[in-house]
């Protein structure tokens, strides 16, 4: 059991990835050099962080629902924190409820950003209010500086179990290179390409590369992936049945990743694979050197931005990576 816990309240896979450098920095300051991480089940953090020495345990909790449901969730969180007898809780968000839970659970050191009412329940001064309009990554960088914790960089450098990486090579190692992983699907429909756009991209990719194309996106996109593959008659692999951590291992071995701003894009950056992200409706993420943003053809991000992001533009962007000598060797 660790003396320090870290909690983050966001629900996405990508959120866990960009939080990882901050979790690692906090863990390095503890006697155990590890923390207990609390987050939502939808983040899949327990699986994704299974190879991380800085995370001794991942505990899932819930914070969504009606006011009544959220009250029950808060009570359960208080019980969880009290039972673990943590000496410190780091709140990597501006949410006030985890700070209230920490106080009610008797945790003596409650460290947070200090925005709004959260300031009433934490024990550190918080960070300057001028950071509030910035991306949450900038909040956490400011918090690390305020607490004098070294933060070497914001690269996640996700560690995956060696056995899992070996399994993916054994499963797909005979497939021709380069390996391109496509992430189909997104949290919102307008963040993703249409089937027609994906089909056009696959057709163009077949003309430019003799390597293997893997489609990932979880079980919900398996039928869609099968239809896209069948329509072209190519040699693509429907990998949507893989778990998120298996997909991460596959992406680690790949030569490049292409997809909209979503969890798998962040996973690709976290494992050090060139990640070409379609940032057509969302702000560009710049925490990793492995993220290569692709904007709409007219450079204007808006709710309809994916309709203005042509497959040919993306194909031109990834062409140098497809031709790279490194793309002919296993990852």
Total domains present in the chain:
2
Q: Are residues 220 and 318 in the same domain?
A: yes
Whole-angstrom Cα distance, residue 126 to residue 235? 53
Q: Are residues 129 and 203 in the same domain?
A: no
pLDDT at 184 > cutoff 60: yes
pTM across the whole model? 0.93
Sort residue 2 into left (φ over 0), alpha (ψ -120 to 50) or beta.
beta
pLDDT of 58-97, one tens digit each? Answer: 999 999 899 999 999 999 999 999 999 999 999 999 999 9
- For the domain that residue 180 is a member of, what is the CATH number? 3.40.50.2000
Residue 68 lies in a domain: yes
Residue 205 lies in a domain: yes
Q: Are residues 93 and 169 in the same domain?
A: no
What is the average per-residue pLDDT within 155-166? 96
Q: Are residues 130 and 189 in the same domain?
A: no
Residue 152 lies in a domain: no
pLDDT of 275-331, one tens digit each? Answer: 999 999 988 999 999 999 999 999 999 999 999 999 999 999 999 999 876 655 555
Q: Which of 289, 283, 255, 242 is nearest to 270 (CA)?
A: 289
Q: Are residues 37 and 77 in the same domain?
A: yes
Strands (E), 120-222: 179-183, 212-216
Which residues span the domain enclosing 177? 162-328
Rg (CA), the chain: 21
**pLDDT score for 117:** 97
Q: Are residues 30 and 93 in the same domain?
A: yes
What is the average per-residue pLDDT within 7-29? 96
Residue 50 lies in a domain: yes
**pLDDT score for 243:** 95
Q: Are residues 244 and 308 in the same domain?
A: yes
Q: Are residues 304 and 195 in the same domain?
A: yes
Q: Are residues 138 and 83 in the same domain?
A: yes
Residue 242 — pLDDT band, cuts 50, 70, 90? very high
Residue 154 lies in a domain: no
Contact 63, 97 (CB under 8 A): yes
Q: Are residues 322 and 174 in the same domain?
A: yes
pLDDT at 48 > cutoff 70: yes
């Amino acid at each position: 059991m660790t003396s320090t816990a870290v909690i983050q309240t966001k629900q996405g896979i990508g959120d866990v990835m960009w939080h990882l450098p901050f979790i690692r920095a906090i863990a390095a300051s503890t006697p155990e050099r590890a923390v207990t991480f609390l987050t939502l089940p939808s983040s899949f953090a327990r699986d994704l962080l299974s190879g991380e020495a800085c995370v001794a345990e991942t505990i899932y909790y819930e914070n969504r629902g009606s006011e009544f449901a959220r009250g029950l969730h808060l009570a359960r969180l208080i019980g969880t924190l009290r039972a673990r007898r943590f000496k410190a809780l780091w709140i990597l968000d501006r949410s006030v409820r985890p700070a209230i839970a920490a106080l009610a659970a008797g945790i003596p050191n409650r460290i947070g950003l200090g925005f709004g009412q959260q300031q009433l329940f934490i024990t550190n001064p918080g960070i300057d209010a001028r950071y509030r309009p910035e991306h949450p990554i900038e909040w956490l960088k400011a918090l690390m500086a305020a607490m004098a914790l070294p933060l070497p960089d914001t690269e996640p450098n996700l560690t995956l179990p060696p056995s899992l990486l070996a399994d993916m090579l054994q499963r797909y190692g005979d497939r021709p290179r380069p390996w391109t992983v496509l992430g189909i699907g997104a949290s919102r429909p307008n963040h993703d390409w249409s089937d027609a756009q994906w089909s056009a991209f696959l057709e163009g990719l077949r003309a430019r590369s003799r390597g293997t194309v893997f489609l990932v996106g979880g079980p919900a996109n398996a039928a869609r992936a099968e239809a896209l593959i069948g329509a072209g008659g190519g040699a693509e692999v429907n990998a949507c049945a893989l778990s998120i951590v298996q997909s991460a291992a596959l992406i680690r071995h790949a030569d490049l990743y292409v997809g909209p701003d979503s969890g798998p894009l962040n996973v690709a950056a976290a494992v050090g694979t060139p990640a070409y992200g379609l940032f057509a409706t969302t702000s560009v993420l710049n925490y990793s050197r492995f993220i290569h943003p692709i904007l709409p053809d007219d450079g204007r991000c808006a709710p309809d931005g994916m309709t203005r992001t042509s497959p040919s533009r993306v194909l031109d962007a990834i062409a140098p990576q497809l031709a790279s000598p490194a793309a002919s060797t296993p990852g």
